[in-house]
């Protein structure tokens, strides 16, 4: 194993969008997750965000 974890959920609309290098001069795309509530949930259940399952993460999709 290389030590690189695959993301549980890819929220990009396409693989090109997911793999593209971000342009620092353009406005970033709107978040597709409510990060604040996701963090509060992870803290409440006693897990780190990267240890949450895909089902748990998708609860906070906007």
Per-residue confidence of the chain (62 residues) as pLDDT tens digits?
A: 566 666 556 666 666 766 778 788 988 777 788 999 999 999 999 999 889 988 899 899 88
Predicted model pTM? 0.58
Phi and psi (nearest 5°) for 4? Answer: -100, 125
Q: What number of other Cβ atoms are within 10 A of residue 53's Cβ?
A: 10
Among 6, 54, 4, residue whose Cα is nearest residue 33: 54
Q: What number of other Cβ atoms are within 10 A of residue 10's Cβ?
A: 13
């Amino acid at each position: 194993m290389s030590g690189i974890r695959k993301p549980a959920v890819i929220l990009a609309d396409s693989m090109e969008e997911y793999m593209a290098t971000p342009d620092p001069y353009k406005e970033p795309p709107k978040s597709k997750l409510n990060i604040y509530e996701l963090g509060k949930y992870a803290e409440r259940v006693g897990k780190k965000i990267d240890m949450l399952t895909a089902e748990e993460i998708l609860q906070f999709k906007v």
